[in-house]
Structure formats: C-alpha cells, structure tokens
Amino acid sequence: MFNYKVFLFLIFLVGIFTIVFFKMDRDGPYYLEVSKKVLPITQQWVVVSDKKLPSVFESDLTEDIIDWKWLKPNLIDYRFDKSGLTVIVKEESVWWRNNSAAGLFHLIDDDVELQVYVKTRKASDNTSYPDRDYQFGGIILRDPLSNAIFGRENYVFNVVGYRGSKLQVETKSTENGLSKVVAKDWPSGDAELKIVRHGQHIKMYARELHSENWIEINSLERRDFPDTLEIGLIVYSTGVHDRGTDIAINFTDLKIDHN
C-alpha cells in the first residue's frame, strides 16, 4: 500500500540533502565530517565505465574525440577546429584542495605516459598571455572515486599559465582534498606538458614548444591511486574580486601511451 506520509518524508530528505550538498563548502569542516561518515557508502555508488583507452592513443584534437566526457561543461565554452581544441572559461573554474572544475576525461588502466601541447592566451586578446590571478591549462590524472557524493579529491596535475604574479608551469598533488604545489618560472604561456605514471611513482615534465629537452618539474609517490584513473585535459581560472575570468586555452597533439 502506498504510504503518502513516507513519500513526503522521503521528498523532504531529498530536498534537505540537495540543499546541504550543493551549498556546503567542500573545504569546510562540516563537509569533512559528513564525508567521513557517508563516503564508505557513496563510493560504492560510483560507476566506473568498462570503456578504456587503447594502449596507444593520439589525436590532433581538431575534432571531437569519441567517448571522452566533460566535467562541469557549464563553466566553459569550447570548440574543435583546425587549430585544435580551444576552451574559453566563462566562470571561475578552480582545481584546488577539495574543489573540482572543468575538464575533458576518459579512463585508463595501469602505467601511462600522457603529453599534450598547451597554449594559453587572454580570451579578450589572443595575442597576449594571461596576466592576472591564476589562469592555467594542462593535464591531470584523477581517482574516479573523487566523483562520489561527499567525495574527497585525489589527483595530480601539470599545467601552464599565469600564477599569481608570473608565468609558470605548476604541478599539484591533491590527496583527500589537501593540495601541495610545486611550480617553476616559465618564459611564456605555452608548453608541452607530460605526466608519467609507473606504479605508485609519478613524474611531471615540461618543455618549450618544439624543444627536444624535457625539464622535470616534480616527482612524487601516490600509493593511494587505484589501477584505473581518469585521464584528462583541464582548465583552471580564478576570478578574484569579481573581475571575472580572462583565459582561452588551446590544446593540440595529445599523445597517450600505456601498458
């Protein structure tokens, strides 16, 4: 028999949950406390697709790539054309601590080498590099369980762009929502970026476009990473003091090799 009171109570709980989940600060103490209690359950609800990338994958990114999925596409505009994939950030899109942002993702198993060409420019002036706040584009390896309800972010990324006061390549390792950054000054807003995973070992590199010499930016261990990770192209942009975002990122020559 249909119980109308139970139905209304469930609707009430769903409403409260929605308000709390979407309004709660993902870096705040309340989120952390709720996460500790519910995450062992909600992680079991995450569905990891059986579709994985082939052992070697290459794309010039001049057209949409099949089976790749956008995360938070509402934050960006994007297009594929003869120049590659161009992403323009419309709203603040921040990969920091327990916050996730916009990116294009697929899944990959085991060890991997990922590299791509990245060019960053002002959205308002495509002849100039970004020159304010934090404005980047680059690549990421991310634990799919970060997508769980009340999840904690676990990833490493390698990006290029403007970092606070200067152009830099920035690497970041975020573990259970806590981020550590290693960065290096860079001569431009462009770079070829690479992440290499071998077991628990992660190395991140950069080089100037069309250079032969890779520079190691960061080397670390991530013992917590599962065999299957999300692999992706990401954008990062803050809009400090309501100034809005001003960055367009161009990606070309994506290469992925894994065992």
Joined together, the tokens standing for residue 191 give: 């770079």
Residue 246 has pLDDT above 70, yes or no: yes
What per-residue confidence (pLDDT) applies to 49? 79
Residue 15 has pLDDT above 50, yes or no: no
Residue 13 has pLDDT above 70, yes or no: no
The fold for domain 49-258 equals Jelly Rolls (2.60.120)
The Cα–Cα gap between 215 and 213 comes to 7
- The fraction of the chain above a pLDDT of 90, given in percent, is 69
The Cα–Cα gap between 80 and 253 comes to 13
Joined together, the tokens standing for residue 103 give: 């990116």
Q: How does DSSP assign 17-50, residue by residue?
A: HHHHHHHS-TTSHHHHHHHHHHHHHHGGGPPPPS
Residue 6 has pLDDT above 80, yes or no: no
What per-residue confidence (pLDDT) applies to 19? 44
Question: Predicted confidence band at 192 (pLDDT cuts at 50, 70, 90)?
Answer: very high
Question: In the chain, where are the structural domains located?
Answer: 1-45, 49-258
H runs (alpha helix) in 4-128: 4-23, 29-42
What per-residue confidence (pLDDT) applies to 29? 78
Count of other CB atoms within 10 angstroms of residue 165: 9
Separation of CA 78 from chain center: 16
